[in-house]
Amino acid sequence: MFSANNFNFKNSSQPQVQNRNNSPAVNFGDSAYQRALGLWRQQQDRKIAEVTRERDKYQAEVAEADRVISIIKEHWEKYAPVGEDGKPKVTLESYLEGYKYTRWVANNYLQREQNYLKVIEQRRQLDQPFTEQELQMIKDGYTPDPTTDGWEPKVNIVVNGIKADNKRRLNAVDSKWTRYDATQIGSLKYEGWNNTDVSSEISSLTNGKGISNGSISLIKYTRAPGNTAGSLSEFKTLVLNADDDVAFKAFAEIMKNAANKDNSIKAIVLKNVGAKHKTQNIKEILELLPPQMQKVSLFLDDHQAVNGLRGLEKFTKLSELELYTNSRTNESNWAINPNALKNVDFISFDYINKGDIKLVQPGEKIPGSIIFDTLRWDEGDDTTKVNEGLEIAFSSKINQRVFQGTFGGRGGYPLHLDFSSSKKIKTLKGIDFDKTERLFNEKLQNWEVEAESQKNPGHVNLLFQYLYFGASKVSDSGSTGSNYVYKVQTSDFENSQFTSRLVNGPIQQPGIYIKDENGKTLSNIPLYITGSSFSGDAFSQLSKFVDVARKSATFNKIYVENASLQSQLSGLGLPVETKTITTTD
């Protein structure tokens, strides 16, 4: 038999009616307070109406169950499922118990809604219904949102930021929504714009070159009626599918000729870069970008492909850059050179959390904006270039999401630095982190916030987690037992800042790693130190460097060029030998 004791039906906890808050800080005549109170009452009226509808729904279910129970035998004979013999499959008693249970469940929900309705109706009558926390929110400029149960800031930084970003796009749109649609991104569609394939206009430039049909196409964008954002009403975009390597190699010339022929071509899209052809380098294409171009969209499917961005460094001014990948967008080995973006006004960000998406087909491409947690520099870059790049990433463009690290927002920054391609950088010596930190904190102080209480953040010390440097190739690997060493001078360690610029906490542990010329991380290679003595703090900095690198399994021994250093370094936890090593660099 049915019994309510056989079931564990949990009523949702109900808010309790509070007494009036007589805080002396409350100014009942204050216009902000009165506005908040009026909006809050609208909010409660909406909620009362919603709860009343729910109560009435369950009341009707209880009434219907009571009606059926009152005529249960007649109802059972008419509606109960029957077997092949024409008789009901369930007994009258079981049928009755089912409706009793249905009534019990509906009645529990009914009681819950009635209790909740009583609470919010009573609170609605209070002269001063706000908690101390809500009063503080009112002081900070927040107001109740009548359409939800939440509160809206005086200045909604998130919504306003999205609106502003949407208006900065070449495909500008009046919208408060992010472009959170991988299908839309992949198909090059934009809200507020109509697109038409006009590839026939460039057929004379692509025919007869061995390019597969559709590998290079032309799209015309026309602003849709009702969309008033932006300065352009129409423009064209030249699109490359880099899966066709023949098209990839011919694209720079075709781009140049197409732009000369048609000034309305304002953008290029490079799709599937590195997906099939890992060695594709977009640098040449970007270096030859016609001056009329305002936007570049890149779909990079290999981590090395992003290195070609350096081709933008000398472009006079690019209005917008889109950086997408069909790979995982937040992998740790995505790294970007900030110097490449110094002349880019706006780097759009359309993050897609691929864990939220169920693939329709295996291998389906889901593009999304790349998250960078590593800053890198290129071959030939010295400390002057590094300092220039740090100022870009931590000051002039810190408001761009691309330079806000994994989590983004105020105070976010890339935690890792990669100097493995810039062989001139052997340590952190000469890198002006003090200036970078000062500029960064100035930006944080002036960051637009939603509430007064969020202003004046504490000073942020710039600390980094992982550092990467480039290995030297050994001319005679037989002399060291390794093809690579990390070659560094004693003087490189003076003022090298390892003791002050690495994280050192229970959650984040630092790491120092060495890469070969192909970007592969090496382990258990020798550290080769040239020079005859240490000056200033060089030895303490070397000690920190070796300690972190040893814990990262980077080095297995130390070679010194000068025998006088051997005994001095014997306490660093690695075997030390005197040896002269010839390297190819």
Select from 216, 213, 163 the least CA-distant residue to 192. Answer: 163
Measuring CA to CA, how many Å separate 263 from each of 115, 130, 254, 266, 321? 68, 60, 14, 7, 19
Q: Residue 17: what pLDDT?
A: 46
Please give the Cα distance from 509 to 502 (Å, whole number). Answer: 9
The 416-419 sheet, strands edge to edge: 335-336, 374-376, 416-419, 466-470, 511-515, 521-522
For the record, the structure tokens of 462 come out as: 């710039």
197 and 218 in contact (C-beta within 8 Å)?
yes
Query: Burial, 187: exposed, middle or buried (Cβ in 10 Å; 0-12, 13-18, 19+)?
Result: exposed
Q: Residue 307: what pLDDT?
A: 93
Buried b (16+ CB within 10 A) or exposed e, 344-381: bebbbbbbbebeeeeeeeeeebbbbbbbbbbbbbbeeb
Side-chain half-sphere exposure of 519, counting CA atoms within 13 A = 13
Q: Residue 27: what pLDDT?
A: 65
| Look-up of token digits 């409660």 | 44
What are the extents of the domains in the chain? Answer: 4-152, 158-371, 466-578
pLDDT in 10s for each residue of the chain, 585 residues: 444 444 344 344 444 444 444 444 566 668 889 989 999 999 999 999 999 999 999 999 999 999 999 999 898 888 888 888 888 888 999 889 999 999 999 999 999 999 999 999 999 999 899 999 999 888 888 889 898 888 887 767 778 888 889 999 999 999 988 877 888 899 999 999 999 999 999 999 999 999 999 999 999 999 999 999 999 999 999 999 999 999 999 999 999 999 999 999 999 999 999 999 988 999 999 999 999 999 999 999 988 999 999 999 989 999 999 999 987 766 778 999 999 999 999 999 987 765 555 555 656 788 999 999 999 999 999 999 999 999 999 999 999 999 999 988 889 999 999 999 998 999 999 999 999 999 999 999 888 765 555 666 789 999 999 999 999 999 887 777 789 999 999 999 999 999 999 999 888 999 999 999 999 999 999 999 999 999 999 999 999 999 999 999 999 999 999 999 999 999 999 999 999 999 988
Please give the Cα distance from 449 to 457 (Å, whole number). Answer: 11
For 78, residues 6+ apart whose C-beta sits below 8 A from its C-beta are none
206 and 240 in contact (C-beta within 8 Å)?
no
Per DSSP (E only), the strands in 211-332 are 216-223, 234-241, 265-273, 295-300, 318-325
Q: Residue 577: what pLDDT?
A: 96
For 96, residues 6+ apart whose C-beta sits below 8 A from its C-beta are 69, 72, 76
For 265, residues 6+ apart whose C-beta sits below 8 A from its C-beta are 218, 235, 236, 237, 238, 258, 259, 290, 292, 293
Q: Residue 479: phi, psi to the nearest 5?
A: -80, -20
User: Other CB atoms closer than 10 Å to residue 154's CB: what's the count?
Assistant: 12
Selecting from 3.30.70, 2.160.20, 1.20.120, 1.10.3470, what CATH number does the domain 158-371 have? Answer: 2.160.20
For 46, residues 6+ apart whose C-beta sits below 8 A from its C-beta are 146, 147
Return the ∠ at Cα 79 (arms to 76 and 84), rounded to 5°.
95
DSSP state of 576: E
Q: Residue 361: what pLDDT?
A: 60
For the record, the structure tokens of 454 come out as: 């969020």
Return the ∠ at Cα 373 (arms to 370 and 379), rounded to 5°.
95
SS3 236: strand
SS3 33: helix
